[in-house]
Amino acid sequence: MYTNSFAEHVREAVRQIPKGQTRTYGEVARAIGHPGAARAVGTVMRNNYDSTVPCHRVVRRDGKFGDYNRGGEAEKKRLLRTEGVVC
């Protein structure tokens, strides 16, 4: 699996995404210096249950929202809409 260091870098990068904005998994990977690690970022997000990490702000590069471990895609969209993201 991934080291705690990698996962913490991912979580910290996601915490920095401003409310009302999104980033792709690839953008998060590049932001932490691992440009080829989009899937690894997805794995960290899929296993994230830290409520201080707004993982609903991380989306797929193809424009789809992807899953959300706290209620599925519908909940992810609902949270993004409350932040002003057009879904």
pLDDT per 10-residue tile (average), the chain, 87 residues: 82 98 98 97 94 96 90 94 95
Please pick, among 17, 38, 55, 80, the residue that the annotation labels catalytic: 55
Q: How many CB atoms lie within 10 A of CB 87?
A: 12
pLDDT at residue 82 in the model: 97
Q: Rounded to 5 degrees, what are φ and ψ at 46?
A: -60, -30
pLDDT at residue 3 in the model: 63
At 14-27, the pLDDT tens digits run: 999 999 999 999 99
53 within 8 A of 16, measured Cβ to Cβ: no
Decide if 55 is catalytic.
Answer: yes
As a whole number of angstroms, the distance between CA 60 and CA 73 comes to 12
For the full predicted model, state whether its pTM sits above 0.75.
Answer: yes
* Percentage of the residues of the chain whose pLDDT score is greater than 90: 86
CATH code matching the domain that covers 4-82, chosen among 3.40.980.10, 3.30.379.10, 1.10.10.10, 3.40.50.150 = 1.10.10.10
What is the C-alpha end-to-end distance of the chain, expressed in Å?
32
